[in-house]
Chains A and B, each alone.
Chain A
Amino acid sequence: MVIPDFVLNAPLAMQVTPADWPGGYWWHWLFFTIIIIAFVLIMVMGVIYIERRGMGRMQSRLGPNRTGPFGLLQPVADAIKVLLKENIVPATADKVVHWLAPIIAFSPVLMIFAVIPFQNGALLADLNIGILYIIAVSSVATVGVFMAGWGSSNKYSLLGAMRNVAAIVSYEIPLALTIVGVIIFSGSLSMNQIVVAQDIPYILVQPLGFLLFFIAASAEINRSPFDLMEADSELTAGFHTEYSGMKFAMFYLVEYAEAIAMSAIITTLFLSGWRGPFLPPWLWFLIKTLVVFFVMVWTRTTLPRVRIDQLMALAWKFLFPLALVNLFITAIEVIFWPDISQWIFVGVNIVIAALLVILWSKLFKIGWGRLEV
């Protein structure tokens, strides 16, 4: 593999900028910071609208359609409402922790976007450890959630936080293992390099990996059907029960920003990122991200929430072994047949994925009574 010159010559890996960027490092940094923040905020509003309308239509409702044309201003109205609300802190709360928790939960999500390529080379920092950086940074959000649960001094919050930690720690393993499959094929940890290496979208080369990654990612970001850390019907709202006003808005923002971040990561890793014919690259990226998010909404509408023991069983008995098998198969393919066309792997891997899923479902039945954790 050839490492580009500008990566080798940079004094620090953090300062990698495209060689032809005008105005130097700081302008680049400022520009992309503004772009990322604007992107996250606007996309959050957009996806909240998409989620509510899409879910409404799938449930034979209309969804919000009163505020503005087609209800487009509903997220704005909600944001204004929630910002103007009173900020209530419980009397026995751990005040500092309670106050810091939303910030600590929010900042990693913004930091994830630093390494996501919007188009070729258009990213804040083309780290050569990009995807590892994402896994590392997103694990910090756990601490924020735990602080929220602890700081509220409310048993429902604490239970939600505990569930969240258990889920995230378990699901990080299959998540990382499936990512390794992608890395083996692309030969680089850098997000931009991964996209560049994807002549065939990896969803075809790694169908099992995509499936496992999607499941693990939805569990990681607390999307339904794995949203039992904020299960409204059991835990009122999980870790953010005691939050209101601006701080609640932060948690709401985190939830959707994480969903967007995961959609963007899936787009980059499995759907060949910004690559695509005819349209400009950034538009392809946007379209693919929204499509992935729509699939998340779709699964949310369809599937009922799982129990906590089922959640753990799914992670350890289904996703983890399959991720290992997937990694093993991928490694064998890359080592023994490095030169043949990847289209052969596409067919072989799809067949293997179907066989493995069917076989494992025979061995592992989730609805088979109560499973011991």
Chain B
Amino acid sequence: MGLEFAFWIMAVVMVGAAFAVLYLRNVFHAALALVLCFIAVAGIYVTLSADFLAAVQILVYVGAISVLIILGVMMTREVQKGNPVNKMRLPAAIVAVVLLGILVYVVTSTPWGISTQDPLTPTTMPLATKLFSENGFILPVEIGAVLLLAAILGAIVIIREKKK
């Protein structure tokens, strides 16, 4: 019962915040709505008993990504210009709604092989074993590290002012 209640609250907050990101005039407010949406997503993770990921979600998304986005909002000084839309409004809406319809149809009509086992609750240790053990995901982890390094270097190179 408590779980359902939590799920519905989180779902409503999440979708509302996502719409707020789209429709708020002030870009800074939109960024704050995005933070709220991220926190709600973390709550959804908790209801899925993925507590480690919930903490990582808050740490990465709320602590780092949203702060970066807010800094981007500040630096581009487009806060007061609002949140204009382009000519693609109607086609995009049609595409989005059709995609949603297809997805919902597929999701509801597929017979999912739902397992009867309870989910693993302290996920920290199994996740670590999964990620770092020999027949786990150690290679993707290293590739991810390289990706992050490349992203940092690329961002610095793109953003650096050329010295004359």
Contact = CB atoms under 8 A, between A and B. Distances in A.
Direct contact, A vs B (beta carbon within 8 Å): yes
A132 B62 contact: no
Nearest to B28: A150
Contact of A10 (B28, B52, B59, B121): B121
Given A139-B58, A140-B62, A3 B125 contact: yes
Given A136-B55, A136-B56, A7 B122 contact: yes
A165 B67 CA distance: 8
Interface of B: 3, 26, 28-29, 32, 35, 39, 46, 49, 51-52, 55-56, 58-59, 62-64, 66-67, 70-71, 74, 118, 121-122, 124-125
A13 interface: yes
Contacts of B29: 96-97
Q: Across the A-B interface, give the 8 residue pairs with the lowest CB-CB distance, nearest first.
A: A139-B63, A136-B58, A136-B59, A13-B51, A128-B122, A136-B55, A132-B55, A129-B55
Contacts of A3: 122, 125
Interface residues of A, number: 33
Q: Which one of B26, B55, B125 has the greatest number of beta carbons of chain A within 10 Å?
A: B55
A12 interface: yes
B63 A136 contact: yes
Interface of B is mostly: helix
A2 to B, nearest CB: 11
A140 B52 contact: no
Contact of B46 (A10, A12, A94): A12
Contacts, number: 81
A129 B124 contact: yes
B63 A129 contact: no
B59 A135 contact: yes
Contact of A169 (B58, B62, B64): B64
A146 B70 contact: yes
Contacts of A8: 121-122
Interface string A132-145: 11011101101100
A1 interface: yes
A150 B124 CA distance: 37
